[in-house]
């Protein structure tokens, strides 16, 4: 296996050839924020939180889909990038109905943590206050569209890890939403195996276990990646 | 079919000509003003006057001057009649009997007719788009025939030397794209023709597909031979029913004649083409979204690289070119790369078709050499703004482009010059605005379009365009202050710099370009600050791409 060396934020680091800038940075302990990235499933490059500046490239690059190359010079924390990340977070908060104080995922929410990390003390954009439904038709789980940020982690997890492909997108633009099967209530979606992996993959409180109340819904996201490694290497005694 | 057969058909068709030909436009534009009735009446009148062996009535493609349709052209004497009604059909037919005609004629020296250089649209308005023989008689499939006698590498080289650049908007060198696909390992490869023309006010590609469907097929076949593909897909939007009908007819005719299929023109080259109909999503004009749509998936872009040239349709190397680009190819093969490279400017070669619409005397399609000034197109060919009003701006490139103010009309039309003044060549839509148009309104119109057409995948485009639309609405409703304007600019930069695909990255262009040239119109709508004397920090992000 060949190894490349690159510079991230003035630090020389090594990466396996073919590894993404995001993975290389995180392995070295350099944090890059993400929302749609989830270890174990393919990348969507949709949240744009992981954008970094790579010298010699005109546009900002999503580090989750950019391969680390020999001699690359990467900046993950320029002033503009931090501002852009904060703006993206504000846009997400303005888009949905995110009320942390009554959310099952309060204090266990990736969106909330990132907002805190980025000093997002208020939202400069007009709240859209959309009227969105809550789907509680499933026996064990529920989907609150108000908290969904359309990261598509549940879609990819269901498709790639469970192989059921119950979830997908419908609608476009601000009407985009997650649907089960052909748009029926989750409880009636025949392809759903009730495995609950989507619930574990969700970064916010949009997908949660029924019966959990405010701040009770913790998620085990590492398990999904472990599952993929176990399958690949046929080692099940974790 | 072999080359000799092609030659026989060409000669037979050329000798078939009757002494007198009447051409009636049957394209979408003229159909909307009743061309089909006129066409039927012309045929009926020829029958009734017993002139069937003397007069040929041909339904042709768009001659270009759509605002004067339905257009009918007679050959002897040569004349074009605008706005023809069915009742006038008899009078036109009787001209062949040397009867005098009182109908209004277009001035043959009309700048709209004389000021163009037609390469891609050379046959539009002349051949019958529904007959293969008609296209063959006009040197159709000569380009393919010549291509098949050369090596694929020579053809890629020819296209590279010609300097042709993609006509879909971005202006990527076509030869380079072909070379990339050609260099991928042998195996399954595809050629896709992008006919998902979605810019409001643009209809160049529709005209090319309707008027010369065979020319598109020929271009695709040459491209396929050059890059080593054996299957092609034409992606057309469902809003273009006539284009779909004529493309399908052309594919059937060409397949039957052996110009598509196996062993084309006696060579070892095989190529088939199928049509995929898009359900009308603007984002499906973006190549990765288009490929997803062809595969039957939701039309959402994916990050590039890998580019389609490496991993495209069904994960195979795929060449994806715009309709106009592919329709230019046969002429380059026929006349040579040097001939093509001699037209246009240093970096932008050949001609470009524009659809001019909006506040303009002559709306329709024009094809001009690159480097022609905007003024020439708008004021001379287009005849300027009607009603004595002053021209204010020209919008090029649709929702991804910008507004060019009247004082910059002497800018030559080429990829670099247009982007230097904050707009883009785009696919060729050109909307003319007069002094009564309000620029913030224009910007809001395009932003509404983008917000509506965003696929919803990435956050800056999905949410950012909606917020931009809201901010523009606040400004137009006179509810906004300087702070809101600063926020608008900052948000424009976010959407431009961080969106996943071209739709989002270019969505702020109409706002940024109108702010650049018509800032006073925005400022006039602002409310005084709520707390005078209190200055907030300005938009922190610089105006250049970071």
Quote the pTM value.
Answer: 0.92
Contact by Cβ (8 Å): B193, B115: no
| Chain B interface residues (partner A, CB cutoff 8 A) | 281, 283, 298, 300, 302-303, 451-460, 462-467, 470, 487, 490-491, 494, 497-500, 505, 540-541, 545-546
Percent of chain B scoring above 70 in pLDDT:
97
| Burial of B109 (C-beta count, 10 Å sphere; 0-12/13-18/19+) | exposed
Pair of tokens at residue B465: 């365009």
The whole-angstrom separation of Cα B180 and Cα B169 is: 19
Give the Å distances, CA to CA, from A196 to A162, A178, A210, A235.
Answer: 10, 16, 11, 22
The whole-angstrom separation of Cα A218 and Cα B334 is: 68
Q: Is residue B540 predicted with pLDDT exceeding 50? A: no
Q: Which of B91-105, B291-305, B428-442, B523-537 has the lowest mean pLDDT?
A: B523-537
Q: Is residue A238 predicted with pLDDT exceeding 60? A: no
Contact A48 B303 (CB under 8 A): no
Distance from CA of B297 to the nearest CA of A (A): 11
Contact B458 A48 (CB under 8 A): yes
Nearest neighbour of A48 by CB, restricted to B298, B465, B498? B498
Q: What is the pLDDT of residue B546?
A: 31
Contact by Cβ (8 Å): B319, B192: yes
The whole-angstrom separation of Cα A197 and Cα A221 is: 9
Q: Is residue B544 predicted with pLDDT exceeding 60? A: no
Contact by Cβ (8 Å): A75, A53: yes
Contact A92 B487 (CB under 8 A): no
The whole-angstrom separation of Cα B450 and Cα B462 is: 9
Q: Is residue A213 predicted with pLDDT exceeding 90? A: no
Pair of tokens at residue B266: 């006696």
Per-residue model confidence as pLDDT tens digits over B296-319: 999 999 998 899 999 999 999 999
Q: Is residue A191 predicted with pLDDT exceeding 60? A: yes
Per-residue model confidence as pLDDT tens digits over A48-86: 999 999 999 989 999 999 999 999 999 999 999 999 999
The whole-angstrom separation of Cα A46 and Cα B365 is: 38
Report the pLDDT averaged over residues B151-163: 96
Pair of tokens at residue A181: 């099967």
Per-residue model confidence as pLDDT tens digits over B324-357: 999 999 999 999 999 999 999 999 999 999 999 9
β B20-25/A11-16 pair status:
unpaired
Helix/strand number for chain B, H first, E second? 23, 13
Contact A91 B467 (CB under 8 A): yes
Q: What is the pLDDT of residue B50?
A: 87
Q: Between residues 154 and 183 of chain A, which touch chain B (CB distance below 8 Å)?
A: 168-169, 171-176
In B, which residues are within 8 Å of A84 by CB distance?
494, 497-498, 541
Pair of tokens at residue B260: 């598509």
Contact A172 B459 (CB under 8 A): no
Using CA coordinates, name the residue in chain B closest to A64: B303
Per-residue model confidence as pLDDT tens digits over B14-37: 888 788 889 999 999 899 999 999
Report the pLDDT averaged over residues B382-402: 92
Q: Taking chain A, what is the end-to-end CA distance rounded to the nearest angstrom? A: 26
Q: What is the pLDDT of residue B545?
A: 35
pLDDT band at B224 (very low <50, low <70, confident <90, very high): very high
Q: What is the pLDDT of residue B537?
A: 55
Per-residue model confidence as pLDDT tens digits over B469-526: 999 999 999 999 998 999 999 999 999 999 999 999 999 999 999 999 999 999 999 9
Q: What is the pLDDT of residue B543?
A: 37
Helix (H) or strand (E) holding A6: strand A3-8
Q: What is the pLDDT of residue B109?
A: 87
Pair of tokens at residue B495: 């959407």
Distance from CA of A142 to the nearest CA of B (A): 23
Per-residue model confidence as pLDDT tens digits over A159-186: 999 999 999 999 999 999 999 999 999 9
B391, B110, B365, B161: CA torsion to nearest 10: -110
Q: Is residue B530 predicted with pLDDT exceeding 80? A: no
* Helix B213-227 with B152-162: angle, nearest 10 deg: 120
The whole-angstrom separation of Cα A71 and Cα A7 is: 7
Rounded to the nearest integer, the mean pLDDT of chain B is 92
Q: Is residue B536 predicted with pLDDT exceeding 60? A: no
In angstroms and rounded to an integer, the radius of gyration of the C-alpha atoms of chain A is 19
Bridge partners of B405?
B393
Closest CA to B71 of B120, B34, B123, B97: B34
Contact A172 B281 (CB under 8 A): yes
How many residues does this entry show for chain B?
Answer: 546
B297, B299, B301, B302: CA torsion to nearest 10: -10
SS3 content of chain B, % helix, strand, coil (to 5): 45, 15, 40
β B79-81/B72-74 pair status:
antiparallel
Rounded to the nearest integer, the mean pLDDT of chain A is 93
Q: Taking chain B, what is the end-to-end CA distance rounded to the nearest angstrom? A: 57
Pair of tokens at residue A161: 């890890």
Per-residue model confidence as pLDDT tens digits over B173-189: 999 999 999 999 999 99
The more confident residue out of A229 and A31 is A31
Q: What is the pLDDT of residue B103?
A: 86
Contact A87 B490 (CB under 8 A): yes
Contact by Cβ (8 Å): B169, B424: yes
The whole-angstrom separation of Cα B47 and Cα B324 is: 38
Pair of tokens at residue B430: 């050109």
Contact A95 B463 (CB under 8 A): yes
Contact by Cβ (8 Å): B66, B29: yes
Bridge partners of A234?
none
Q: What is the pLDDT of residue B423?
A: 87
């Amino acid at each position: 296996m060949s190894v490349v060396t690159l510079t991230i934020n003035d630090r020389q680091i090594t990466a396996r050839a073919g590894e993404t800038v995001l993975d290389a940075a995180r392995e070295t302990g350099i944090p890059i924020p993400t929302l749609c990235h989830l270890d174990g499933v393919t990348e969507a490059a949709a949240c744009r939180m992981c954008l970094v500046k790579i010298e010699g490239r005109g546009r900002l690059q999503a580090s989750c889909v950019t391969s680390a190359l020999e001699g690359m010079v990467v900046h993950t924390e320029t002033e503009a990038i931090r501002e852009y990340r904060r703006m993206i977070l504000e846009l997400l908060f303005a888009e949905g109905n995110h009320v942390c104080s009554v959310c099952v995922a309060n204090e266990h929410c990736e969106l909330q943590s990132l907002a805190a990390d980025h000093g997002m003390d208020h939202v400069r954009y007009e709240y859209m206050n959309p009227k969105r439904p809550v789907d509680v038709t499933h026996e064990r789980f529920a989907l609150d569209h108000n908290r969904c940020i359309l990261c598509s982690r549940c879609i990819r997890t269901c498709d790639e890890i469970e192989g059921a492909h119950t979830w997908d997108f419908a609608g476009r633009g601000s009407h985009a939403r997650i649907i089960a099967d052909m748009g029926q209530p989750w409880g009636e979606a025949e392809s759903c195996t009730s495995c609950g992996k989507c619930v574990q993959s969700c970064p916010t409180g949009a997908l949660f276990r029924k019966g959990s109340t405010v701040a009770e819904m913790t998620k085990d996201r590492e398990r999904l990646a472990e599952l993929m490694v176990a399958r690949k290497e046929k080692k099940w005694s974790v | 079919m072999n080359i000799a057969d092609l030659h026989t058909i060409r000669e037979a068709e050329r000798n078939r000509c009757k002494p007198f030909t009447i051409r009636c436009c049957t394209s979408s534009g003229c159909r909307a003003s009743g061309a089909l009735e006129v066409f039927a009446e012309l045929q009926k009148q020829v029958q009734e006057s017993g002139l069937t062996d003397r007069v040929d009535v041909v339904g042709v493609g768009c001659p270009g001057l759509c605002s004067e349709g339905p257009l009918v052209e007679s050959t002897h004497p040569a004349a074009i009649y605008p706005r023809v009604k069915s009742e006038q059909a008899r009078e036109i037919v009787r001209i062949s009997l040397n009867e005098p005609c009182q109908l209004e004629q277009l001035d043959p020296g009309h700048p709209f007719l004389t000021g163009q250089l037609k390469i891609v649209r050379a046959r539009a308005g002349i051949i019958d788009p529904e007959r293969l023989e008609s296209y063959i008689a006009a040197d159709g499939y000569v380009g393919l025939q010549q291509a098949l006698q050369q090596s694929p590498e020579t053809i890629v080289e020819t296209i590279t030397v010609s300097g042709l650049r993609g006509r879909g908007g971005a202006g990527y060198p076509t030869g380079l794209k072909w070379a990339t696909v050609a260099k991928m390992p042998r195996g399954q490869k595809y050629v896709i023709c992008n006919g998902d023309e979605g810019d409001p006010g643009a209809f160049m590609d529709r005209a090319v597909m309707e008027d010369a469907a065979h020319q598109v097929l020929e271009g695709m076949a040459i491209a396929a031979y050059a890059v080593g593909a054996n299957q092609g897909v034409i992606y057309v939007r469902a809003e273009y029913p006539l284009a779909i009908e004529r493309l399908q007819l052309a594919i059937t005719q060409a397949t039957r004649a052996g110009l598509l299929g196996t062993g084309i023109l006696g060579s070892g080259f095989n190529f088939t083409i199928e049509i995929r109909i898009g359900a009308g999503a603007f984002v499906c004009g973006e190549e990765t979204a288009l490929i997803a749509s062809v595969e039957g998936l939701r039309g959402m872009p994916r990050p590039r690289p890998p580019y389609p040239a490496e991993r495209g349709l069904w994960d195979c190397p795929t060449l994806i070119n715009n309709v106009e680009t592919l329709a230019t190819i046969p002429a380059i093969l026929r006349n040579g790369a040097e001939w093509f490279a001699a037209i246009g400017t240093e970096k932008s070669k050949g001609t470009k078709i524009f659809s001019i619409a909006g506040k303009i005397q002559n709306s329709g399609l024009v094809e001009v050499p690159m480097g022609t000034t905007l003024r020439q197109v708008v004021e001379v060919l287009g005849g300027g703004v009607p009603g004595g009003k002053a021209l204010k701006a020209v919008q090029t490139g649709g929702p991804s482009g910008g507004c060019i103010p009247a004082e910059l009309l002497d800018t030559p039309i080429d990829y670099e010059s247009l982007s230097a003044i904050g707009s883009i060549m785009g696919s060729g839509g050109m909307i003319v605005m007069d002094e009564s148009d309000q620029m913030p309104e224009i910007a809001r119109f395009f932003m509404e379009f983008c917000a509506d057409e965003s696929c919803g995948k990435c956050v800056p485009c999905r949410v950012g365009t909606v917020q931009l639309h809201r901010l523009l609405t606040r400004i137009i409703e006179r509810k906004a202050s300087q702070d809101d304007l600063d926020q608008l600019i900052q948000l424009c930069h976010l959407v431009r710099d961080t969106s996943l695909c071209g739709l989002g990255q270019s969505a702020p262009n109409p706002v940024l370009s109108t702010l650049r040239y018509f800032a006073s119109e925005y400022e006039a709508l602002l409310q005084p600050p709520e707390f005078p004397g209190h200055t907030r920090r300005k938009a922190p992000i610089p105006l250049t791409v970071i």
